[in-house]
Amino acid sequence: MHHGNPICLTIHEILSGDYGLILNKVDENKLITQREYNNLKSINNANAETHVIELVDKIMNKGEKTCKDFLNLLQTDGAIKETFPLLAMSSCQHGNTHVTQYRNTVRPVGLCVIINNKNFKDGSQRRGTDKDARNLAEVFKCLGFRVLMCEDLNKDQMDQALTFVASLADMSHFVDPQQVLEHGDAFICSILSHGKKGVVLGTDRNPLPIKEITRKFRGCDQSVLTGKPKVFLIQACQGSNIQHGVQLMETDDDTSPLTIPEEADVLVAMATVEDHAALRHIVDGSWFVQSLCEQLKERCPRGEDIVSILHYVNDDVAHRETSSLAKQMPEVRFTLRKKLVLPPQRT
């Protein structure tokens, strides 16, 4: 690969899916000569990505106008947009690379840690949570993550496991010592447990503040996760209040370097808002996790980013209600600086 060329590696990876379509479209729009088209088409013994690199290099060497025409073609042609939805998430400029999404090139993509607390020391069980854990593991494996499942951890064990994962220190208590663990381009942590306001509970019913969990992964000069997205998916009550439905009213809503804040690049998705319960079916699992898995399966292949997908989860869960008219409203907060896109990995 010609690393010196001003091209988006993301676009190389995306376009490799159907190189023939791109080459034909470039030819139709007269961005290359007939001779160049024939030469590119006749390259033998090369994989799709090599073909793409040759084509993009040739276009980049033709000057700024041809480069802009090529980028415009990628963003406006109907067939290309339909075939490569991920292109909507990326953009390149001649002489400079500007990517609006987080890098996602390492395989595996990163670690996904699932803490599934089902059996509590007082004898109680969170029935249905195993289905949530299985579905999450299945989805994130398909998205290219290495999944680590931790079951029935008390507060101190949760704290210890997450501390180890953050630094990738001694994880022999939780995984096979022979396994080598490495952080990739993203980190996912899902905690399925009981909870109270601002905390999740260990199996001993002792609380671990969610703020302390995310703080373990805070950016610093030594952390390989600095500048990379860290997503926390929390299925736990945040109180005992039950939410009720209200008449829908129209509302308006507005939200608004060289170094980045240490709290950057984090997303926390809570099953419910503060002070309220999170609902879980004893067979089908929780509303939040089941909706999350369904939306990830449906929308990740389309190239939609995680925040957009969580909007659909919020809306889906908000429309559900129990026979007693109980409602639930998930809550998402984030300091992500870019879009996080997680395309399924080919097996």
Which listed residue (51, 183, 194, 276) is catalytic?
Answer: 194
**Residue 223 tokens, joined:** 């952390």
* 194 assigned to active site: yes
In single-letter form, the type of residue at position 274 comes to: E
Classified as helix, coil or strand, 55 is helix
What are the beta bridge partners of residue 233?
190, 269
Q: Which of 150, 237, 293, 300 is catalytic?
A: 237
Bridge-based pairing of strands 280-281 and 110-116 is unpaired
For residue 311, indicate whether it is catalytic: no
Burial 210-234 (b: 16+ CB within 10 A, else e): beebbebbbbeeebebbebbbbbbb
Q: Is the C-alpha dihedral spanning 170, 166, 203, 207 positive or negative?
A: positive
Cα 6 from Cα 232, distance rounded (Å) = 34
CA distance 330 to 311: 10
Q: Annotated active-site positions, please?
A: 194, 237
